[in-house]
Amino acid sequence: MRSPQGMAGSSLLRSLGRRMKATVTEFRSIPNAAEAYGPAVLTAGLTPGQRRQLAVWLGVCSAWVFVLVVVGGITRLTRSGLSMTSWKFTGEKPPSTPEEWEAEFARYKQTPEYIKTNQGMTVEEFKFIYFWEWGHRMWGRALGLVVALPAAYFASRGLINGPLGRRLALLFLMGGTQGLVGWWMVRSGFQEPEENQVPRVSTYRMAGHLATAFTIFSALVWTTLQVAIPVPPTVAAGPEAAYASRLLTRFAHPLAAIIGITAMSGCFVAGKDAGRAYNTWPDMNGEWFPSEYFSERLPALRNLFENTAAVQFNHRMLAYTTLAGVATLWSYGRQLPALPPAAKLCLNALAVATAAQVTLGITTLLTYVPVSLGAAHQGGAMVLFTLMLGLLYSIKPAPSLGTFRLLIAKYGQAATAAAVVGIGGTVVNMH
Ligand code: HEM
């Protein structure tokens, strides 16, 4: 039995909820409502035209990182990643004369990769692998300019405020660190491999390099969204959309984590070259669960990340979980007609992209990982990330702090503070 006090409390909460919904509905009519909302602090006081300029620039930076990651994938797939034997922060000029090429090639000939796997390579073949590694590094360094030069220009016009400046500085720092992580990864490939093993970079360092690349990409895409659409569609579309979005968020957040974990497990497939084993589907060389899943050579935890059979089996299972999760979210989303149109669009696109990504993964495996399909599969993972971020942004609820901001925008600070203290006191007294 609920006490009369409890009933009075719940009717008070219901009426508060109704009041809050009405406040959200009126949100759009408040002159500076956008600035009262959290993400809008990045672009407070800017005109729509100025925001568009910033958004286009940040979109270009995101696309630049996308290409950078795909070129990195091609570098790995063409086995070019160990062709350059040194690293300078400021960049390396490629050899320009036949003598310089010979000298560079001679340095490469000292590496375990050349000695163990590339004996007999011609200088022309060396130029090809050098080109990809150099291109990847240069594209990465150019990203620094693509970020820094327009940032300086926009700052000189007063378009970059403190919060946006701090965000950009953090992203810039992450980008710089990414270069160092890349070299730390490459260096592991110059070490003598274990007996009978092919020289290659540490799988863990490679996974780390890709994970940080995905993090930078995601942070850039998110910042672009915040600048382009400072008030997320949920807030602008009214209370029904906010409610439908809140229902979807409960499932979308864990699913985003599953997509991230699936992508990370893919890095281990790539790092171990596990895509060139068990090239059958849906079984793995005639078995549903590979008998080589547990290796006697490896302790349990390392087995999960280093044993080819385990690594590939885990990636398959995680991919199926992602597919089932996206299908479930999609069909649930269809039962929520009040969702903002942007959310519906992202949800539909996410469902199509996931089905395509799984098909691409299977095709890549069945065809022994050709460069084109391997690179497309990596790009496909980033497309999934982008669509998931778009979905999360378009169903993002106003944070609870945002509710106070809404109230402040409508009634002013003093009235909101008095109301909060009053309501708080009443609730405490009731229990
Ligand atoms: C939602 C589903 C999937 C996601 C998000 C995903 C993601 C990834 C990622 C991020 C990589 C690393 C790429 C790289 O570092 O170059 C990868 C590699 C790989 N994935 Fe998937 N994958 C999915 C489904 C599948 C499926 C169903 C299969 C096959 C049954 C598959 C087979 C492979 C193979 C063979 C590689 C190694 C390719 C290489 O060596 O470049 N993937 N995956």
pLDDT single digits (tens) 109-168: 888 787 778 888 898 998 989 999 899 999 999 999 999 999 999 999 999 999 999 999
In 3D space, the residue among 90, 93, 85 whose CA is nearest the CA of residue 126 turns out to be: 85
Tell me how far apart the alpha carbons of residues 136 and 81 are, in angstroms, rounded to a whole number. 9
In 3D space, the residue among 22, 401, 39 whose CA is nearest the CA of residue 239 turns out to be: 22
Instruction: Give the pLDDT of residue 5.
Output: 44
**Residue 2 pLDDT more than 70?**
no
Residue owning the nearest CA to atom 10 of ligand 1: 263
Q: In testing the pocket of ligand 1, which one of 71, 75, 202, 269 has its CB within 8 Å of the most ligand atoms? A: 269
Q: In testing the pocket of ligand 1, which one of 364, 367, 383 has its CB within 8 Å of the most ligand atoms? A: 364
Which pair of structure tokens corresponds to residue 261?
A: 């974990």
In 3D space, the residue among 223, 227, 239, 222 whose CA is nearest the CA of residue 392 turns out to be: 222
Amino acid (1-letter code) at residue 54:
L
Band of pLDDT at residue 429, cut at 50, 70 and 90: low
Residue 232, exposed/middle/buried by CB under 10 A (0-12, 13-18, 19+)? buried
Residue owning the nearest CA to atom 13 of ligand 1: 378
Tell me how far apart the alpha carbons of residues 231 and 363 are, in angstroms, rounded to a whole number. 41
Band of pLDDT at residue 1, cut at 50, 70 and 90: very low
Instruction: Give the pLDDT of residue 236.
Output: 74
pTM score, whole prediction: 0.83
Residue owning the nearest CA to atom 40 of ligand 1: 270
Is 224 within 8 Å of 55 (Cβ atoms)? yes
Residue 243, exposed/middle/buried by CB under 10 A (0-12, 13-18, 19+)? middle
Is 112 within 8 Å of 198 (Cβ atoms)? no
> Mean pLDDT over all residues of the chain?
85
Binding pocket residue ranges, ligand 1, CB within 6 Å: 73, 77, 210, 259, 262-263, 266-267, 269-270, 275, 281, 315-316, 319, 322, 354, 357-358, 361-362, 364-365, 369, 374, 377-378, 381, 384
Three-state secondary-structure class, residue 287: strand
- Consecutive H or E run containing 74: helix 48-77
Backbone angles phi, psi at 425, to 5 degrees: -60, -45
Determine the average pLDDT of the residues in 27-45.
61
**How many CB atoms sit inside 10 A of residue 420's CB?**
12
Is 54 within 8 Å of 45 (Cβ atoms)? no
Amino acid (1-letter code) at residue 57:
W
**Residue 267 pLDDT more than 70?**
yes
Tell me how far apart the alpha carbons of residues 41 and 361 are, in angstroms, rounded to a whole number. 41
**How many CB atoms sit inside 10 A of residue 289's CB?**
9
Band of pLDDT at residue 50, cut at 50, 70 and 90: very high
- To the nearest 10 degrees (0 to 180), the angle between helices 48-77 and 203-228 is 160
Amino acid (1-letter code) at residue 397:
P
